Amino acid sequence: MCGIVGYNGTMQAAPILLEGLEKLEYRGYDSSGLAIRDGAKDIEIVKAKGRLRVLAEKTDEGMALAGNCGIGHTRWATHGEPSETNAHPHVSEDRNVVGVHNGIIENYQELKEKLQRHDYTFYSETDTEIAIKLIDYYMKKYREGPVDSIARAMTRIRGSYALVVMFKDYPDEIYCARKDSPLIVGVTEDASFAASDVPAILKYTRNVYYIGNQQIARLGKGTAEFFDIDREAVEIEPSEIKWDAEAAEKGGFEHFMIKEIHEQPAAVRDTIGSLVQDGKIVYGESGLTDEIIRNTSEILIVACGSAYHVGLAAQYVFEGLARIPVRVELASEFRYRNPILNQNDLVVVISQSGETADSLAALRLAKESGIRTLGIINVVGSSIAREADHVFYTLAGPEIAVATTKAYSAQLIVAYALAIQYAYVRGQIDEDRYTAMIAEIQTLPAKMERVLDDKERIQWFAAKYSNAKDMFFIGRGIDYAISMEGSLKMKEISYVHSEAYAAGELKHGTISLVENGTLVVGVCTQNRLFEKTRSNMVEVKSRGAYLMGLTSYGNYSIEDTADFTVYVPKTDEYFMTSLAIIPLQLLGYYLSVARGLNVDKPRNLAKSVTVE
């Protein structure tokens, strides 16, 4: 979950590294550090606790560090509390090896004890220091070069890691290695770059290399060579980044999150464009076929966080339209409960980054069991995208705010399209319904824009209730799935205690928590469930709750119950999640702003959860 940047070129490295780390600060922000080298001189290291701004001020925006080769890191703590001592880069005793790391080393204690038997001492509480000193140990023991020493260390390390390392005796080179954690390499005519994610280097190059699992890279000034764990040279084809660098900037908005909320219509429009041609859903390069769809016996959707909530909404759509059984699984639980899998199942893994550790582990478990896998991913070339049997990409572009919005909406579109195609191929809907549903999906971007036009009312409401301490979201069917995501947004960025419940479950205990002034959001977009949910809203209102209603235009009777109502345009009820979620995203955003919180970087959270 940490952010890594490396640079080896002809310009001053420190300002470039700081600029790249700023683009990656969403990955971690409890400490940061730089290691800079000026030719054959000693490597200079500067660290700082807290936000990246502290490091920038400490180094005079990088100008205080001379040198055109260096590595940088912004940390989200796993082993060891946030401190300058635990901040990266970490070094061997004689500074023979200096490196940064993203990931988690599971057998760090075993490796530490091994190194202690060889007179190594440790100054930090991190697993990273152990990895750096293990590389140093093998380099001195076998008197071999960086690639060999890194490869030997990789064979001993269990867990996930992306490593970027500099060596005292190799002043014009940087070395990288990865296993299960994201790392890319970019090359220009006279420089090379390493980074955890594309935005860090997009200003300088659009051509990137996605380092494979258990591979090593040697970066010169404008060169990149790749090796496998057996130290054999390997070829990696470069990929061209299509989206604009400005997409990773705020573009005049106060925060990335509100910018990305407004980018949802475009993200949905672009994703639809990749899935629909001439009024039909296309498989593209995914490898999915009608035969696979016909032979699928059950769909298992595996995901974490907001992607899991996409799965909850998708379950209603798949089962309602295609009449195929669907299970939605938390990726963090999936592999630990020995799931029952059948050969004709399809495991669908949803992840924005394509690097989510638990989701990646679930994918690998399915593949080991011989089960077909499909990824819904936003990052081309990510681990899940490479390893899944079939991949559908969401065209959301870079998402910087920790709390997802546009990636969530784009994932929903892929889920809708797959459900419609499953229903049509399996004979559950006819061609007229198929054509009508595809046409309706294509109206969603414009309808989302209409919802955004009403944001000032939600801003007013959020300011009025900015002191809320408890909030409940209730709904039935798809509305329950919407409530789950709305509640998560509230928790993530506003730090309000918020829970979502299936409305019918209120009277089984939860209603005892409702008291005067408790804010309850009732989501009522499903017509056949409207009256039932409204009756549950009446129950909580009679116990003192203040009610916000969320429904579609035409359901004006809700105003007889709700104290404040938000309306969204009508669409096919299977697609209501795409419209109804936007007011809840805005509610969370504006409430966070009213409370003076850091919207884009909420405490204790990171964008990509690449460790368990």
47-to-35, 83, 86, 97, 362 alpha-carbon distances in Å: 9, 9, 9, 17, 36
Catalytic residue (one of 2, 176, 304, 524): 2
For this structure, is 168 an active site residue?
no
Beta carbons of 530 and 550 less than 8 angstroms apart:
no
Structure tokens at 5: 């940047």
Nearest to 400 by CA among 270, 266, 271, 247: 247
What is 32-99 written as a DSSP string? EEEEEE-TTSPPEEEEEESSHHHHHHHTTTTTTS--SEEEEEEE--SSS-SSTTTSSPEE-TTSSEEE
CA distance 296 to 425: 11
CB burial of residue 563 (10 Å; 0-12, 13-18, 19+):
middle
Strands (E), 449-586: 470-475, 497-502, 519-524, 546-552, 564-568
Crossing angle between the packed helical segments 576-594 and 444-452, to the nearest 10 degrees: 30
Structure tokens at 88: 């990266």
What residue type is assigned to position 237 of the chain?
E
Contacts (Cβ under 8 Å, ≥6 apart) of 184: 194, 195, 196, 197, 198, 201, 208, 209, 210, 211, 381
Is the torsion defined by CA of 296, 297, 302, 307 positive or negative?
Answer: positive
For this structure, is 607 an active site residue?
yes
- Per-residue burial over 185-216, b = 16 or more CB atoms within 10 Å of its CB, e = otherwise: bbbeeebbbbbbbbbbbbebbbebbbbbeebb
What residue type is assigned to position 515 of the chain?
E
Catalytic residue (one of 23, 133, 221, 607): 607
Distance of alpha carbon 299 from the chain centroid? 23
Structure tokens at 350: 């949803």
Which residues are catalytically annotated?
2, 607
